[in-house]
Amino acid sequence: MIQQPPQQERNYTSAAWLSAVLTFLFVIPGLIAVIINLVEANGWKKRTGITPQGYGCLWAVLAWTALPAIVFVVILVGIVGAAAVAH
């Protein structure tokens, strides 16, 4: 029987920080980077059964990035809705 080498543990903390910095410059690319890293981290977690380091950081950056975008969309819909009712 061939023994497989142990898998190295993944660390997504630096990816979370990089995504957070990217969101300061450009919100949409930062959000896309966080989502890509989260998909990769989830795949790693499913394959190994081990939650990688920085996994929680990625979720925090996603919430921090997505929340202002959601608030902006809600405000925009409210403004458009109010303008439509006024006419």
Around Cβ 59, how many Cβ atoms within 10 Å?
14
Could you tell me the two tokens for 79? 């403004």
Q: Is the pLDDT of residue 2 over 70?
A: no
Q: Is the pLDDT of residue 33 over 70?
A: yes
Could you tell me the two tokens for 64? 């921090």
The DSSP letter of residue 26 is -
Residue spans per domain, the chain: 13-86
Around Cβ 56, how many Cβ atoms within 10 Å?
13
Q: Is the pLDDT of residue 5 over 60?
A: no
pTM of the model: 0.71
- Give the tens place of pLDDT for each residue, 35-78: 999 999 999 999 999 999 999 999 999 998 888 778 889 999 99
Q: Is the pLDDT of residue 19 over 80?
A: yes
